[in-house]
Structure 1
């Protein structure tokens, strides 16, 4: 490998270890997500918005917004007097989401990482981050949760969600896909590198961490067919 090629590889590795796994193929991601959720992406986003308690006029931020589907659902809920910011570390995802959402007076999309949010303290009412935590390097996850807590106003709500398959077929499918993903990357943060990939993506593992950074009530619920959700409230 040439000197420049090695430098580029090292720079990518450094960024990857600091930010986490980047998803750079929006259409492929959308197709995979639709398959895993059995085509229920729209109903899932509607339920997620409902669980946040988001109201017209509120300000929300979706961290790891990907192609922007949840951003649009939140924007519809907050209405013209509210505001929604979508943040993702992947420029490709932000570009794609911008093209899909178009010009909107109550939406903004920008590149950024969960562990260094470009937002003022106590500036939003709702924070969402779905199917994201397992992409963040494990050493950076507490910092990400602290940032989410920081930007929320007192009484604000945080929603974390990740894959939570039930039954026999769906867990087996997730394990198989995780092993396949692990073989395609050397990144140790890929769920397939864990002894049990289902444990790696179980959103319940963050309950105590949320309490430790200052959240009060932390509630867990599931959304069929395969989503687990934590909703935490910042005490007023």
Structure 2
């Protein structure tokens, strides 16, 4: 993918009082992600859904649902007796995902950011949030995790995922991508320095935050292609 194509997939919003970085070009984003994952997006989604432990009849929430691919995979897993809600702060993503999901009565999409979820307490069994945390303003990430904990039922499962930063070649690719995407932390933006993009996407950085929020267990694993996953279980 060319530099212009990479840039066209993203619209930036770096104000920490805002929702964060918005992805506003669904088709460009899907093409970019497919290229980065070497055409294995569907296999990755299947593996992530399996890791959630979702079963028929459960209710799931996909935060930062984007074009809706993972939400639809979750919907297939929980079946007609279950329900899946995808939330995303980008109106373009919600419109695109909704159009592609017409006819699937157990899957719907709603506009909203991770840091102000409007779901009731203890209302879902599974929460997923993949390739999203680094888009949320840094000062609001703890709030987003607190909402994830709040909406989960006791014993509910949370799956956080982002690009696995291990591997020399992958590190070079991620650094190159970050130059186009412009990922910077709030502190780095204030002093005008470029943040370490690998630290920004390393999902392991949220382990202690999850434990402090009240999750009983937090385990890290890696999934091919190139994905790091935190799996957390809410105290019963």
TM-score (norm 1): 0.89
Two-structure CA RMSD over aligned residues (Å) = 2.1
Supply the distance in 2 between the matched residues of 1:14 and 1:162 (Cα, whole angstroms).
20
Residue 188 of structure 1 and its aligned partner are, at CA, apart by 5.0
Residue 170 of structure 1 and its aligned partner are, at CA, apart by 1.8
Residue 103 of structure 1 and its aligned partner are, at CA, apart by 2.4
Find the counterpart in structure 2 of residue 78 from structure 1.
78
SS at match of 1:125: strand
Find the counterpart in structure 1 of residue 7 from structure 2.
none
Q: Is the 8 A contact 1:34 1:40 kept in 2?
A: yes
Find the counterpart in structure 1 of residue 129 from structure 2.
129
Find the counterpart in structure 2 of residue 228 from structure 1.
228
SS at match of 2:17: helix
Q: Deviations over 1:41-87 (max 9, x none)?
A: 00000000010000000000000000000011000000010000010
Residue 181 of structure 1 and its aligned partner are, at CA, apart by 2.1
Find the counterpart in structure 2 of residue 50 from structure 1.
50
Residue 212 of structure 1 and its aligned partner are, at CA, apart by 0.6
Task: Name the CA shift for 1:205/1:16 in 2 (closer, same or farther; >3 Å).
Answer: closer
Q: Kindly indicate whether residue 88 of structure 2 is the aligned counterpart of residue 88 of structure 1.
A: yes
Q: Is the 8 A contact 2:156 2:233 kept in 1?
A: yes
Find the counterpart in structure 1 of residue 157 from structure 2.
157
> Following superposition, which runs of at least 4 residues in structure 1 exceed 4 angstroms of deviation?
12-16, 185-191
Find the counterpart in structure 1 of residue 167 from structure 2.
167
Q: Is the 8 A contact 1:20 1:189 kept in 2?
A: no
Q: Kindly indicate whether residue 189 of structure 2 is the aligned counterpart of residue 211 of structure 1.
A: no
Residue 118 of structure 1 and its aligned partner are, at CA, apart by 1.3
Q: Is the 8 A contact 2:184 2:194 kept in 1?
A: no
Residue 107 of structure 1 and its aligned partner are, at CA, apart by 1.1
Q: Deviations over 1:131-164 (max 9, x none)?
A: 0000000000000000000000000000000011
Task: Name the CA shift for 1:115/1:186 in 2 (closer, same or farther; >3 Å).
Answer: closer
Supply the distance in 2 between the matched residues of 1:146 and 1:163 (Cα, whole angstroms).
22
Task: Name the CA shift for 1:16/1:25 in 2 (closer, same or farther; >3 Å).
Answer: farther
Residue 167 of structure 1 and its aligned partner are, at CA, apart by 2.5
Structure 2 residues without counterparts, runs of 5 or longer: 1-11
How many residues were matched structurally?
Answer: 222
Q: Deviations over 1:188-221 (max 9, x none)?
A: 5999x64321111000000000001111100100
Q: Is the 8 A contact 2:218 2:232 kept in 1?
A: yes
Supply the distance in 2 between the matched residues of 1:181 and 1:145 (Cα, whole angstroms).
24
TM-score (norm 2): 0.89
Supply the distance in 2 between the matched residues of 1:228 and 1:121 (Cα, whole angstroms).
28
Of 173-182 and 88-97, the range deviating more from structure 2 = 173-182
Supply the distance in 2 between the matched residues of 1:190 and 1:172 (Cα, whole angstroms).
21
Q: Is the 8 A contact 2:62 2:128 kept in 1?
A: yes
SS at match of 1:19: coil
Structure 1 residues without counterparts, runs of 5 or longer: 1-11
